[in-house]
């Protein structure tokens, strides 16, 4: 790769990293070619983009990024071969890794970048699997907001029927 190609690649990586809020760094060493191909196929089916990128190119892509992006914590995870998984949903790569691994232990999760939060190490996989999507969180909030309203409306309706029944009984007795 000559200097012009490297510069173009670094610029493309800067755009990719700045346009995504979620990416995972994995290590696929000691996996067979067939296993890597199966992993890539599974990721493609789920809408996850998988790329093997040199660590030096990733580091150069992070240079000059705003401090609030928190890429400096990711730099410590860049050692050995790195496969980067880009996704639109925060927990989808974690679920895909867990599904693919089954009883195995490859690929290993080096770390995940979720909206400027960095989760380092393979032991964070379960935490990442349990992350809720934005839509799930909004649904929970709406459900929590609706629950008290439903209880109040239910109590008012049942109370209205009780009062109506009481008035009807009193009316019948008086007649």
DSSP 86-138: E-SSTTHHHHHHHHHHTTS--SEEEEEEETTEEEESGGGHHHHHTPPPHHHHH
pLDDT value, residue 50:
93
Predicted confidence at residue 154, as pLDDT, reads 62
User: Is there a contact between 35 and 104 (Cβ–Cβ < 8 Å)?
Assistant: no
3-state helix, strand, coil in the chain (%, to 5): 60, 15, 25
What pLDDT, on the 0 to 100 scale, is given for residue 47? 93
- Predicted TM-score (pTM) of the model is 0.74
Among 28, 137, 147, CA closest to 83? 28
Calculate the CA dihedral of residues 23, 24, 30, 32 and round it to 10 degrees. -50
Over the chain (175 residues), what is each successive 10-residue block's mean pLDDT?
86 88 90 91 94 90 84 88 90 91 84 89 88 80 74 59 67 72
Give the per-residue pLDDT at 137: 78
97 contacts 38 by C-beta, under 8 angstroms: no
β-sheet with 83-86: strand ranges across: 49-52, 83-86, 22-27, 108-114, 117-120
């Amino acid at each position: 790769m000559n200097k012009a190609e490297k510069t173009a690649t670094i610029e493309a990586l800067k755009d990719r990293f700045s346009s995504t809020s979620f990416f995972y760094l994995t290590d696929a060493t000691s996996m067979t070619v067939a296993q890597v191909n199966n992993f890539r196929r599974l990721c493609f089916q789920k809408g996850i983009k998988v790329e093997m990128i040199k660590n030096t190119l990733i580091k150069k892509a992070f240079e000059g990024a705003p401090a609030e992006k928190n890429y400096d914590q990711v730099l410590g995870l860049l050692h050995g071969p790195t496969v980067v998984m880009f996704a639109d949903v925060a927990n989808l790569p974690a679920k895909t890794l867990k599904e693919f691994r089954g009883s195995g232990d490859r690929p290993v999760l080096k770390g995940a970048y979720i909206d400027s939060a960095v989760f380092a190490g393979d032991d964070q996989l379960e935490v990442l699997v349990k992350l809720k999507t934005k839509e799930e969180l909004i649904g929970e909030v709406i459900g929590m907001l609706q629950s008290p309203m439903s209880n109040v409306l239910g109590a008012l309706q049942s109370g209205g029927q009780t009062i109506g029944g009481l008035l009807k009984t009193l009316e019948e007795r008086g007649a």
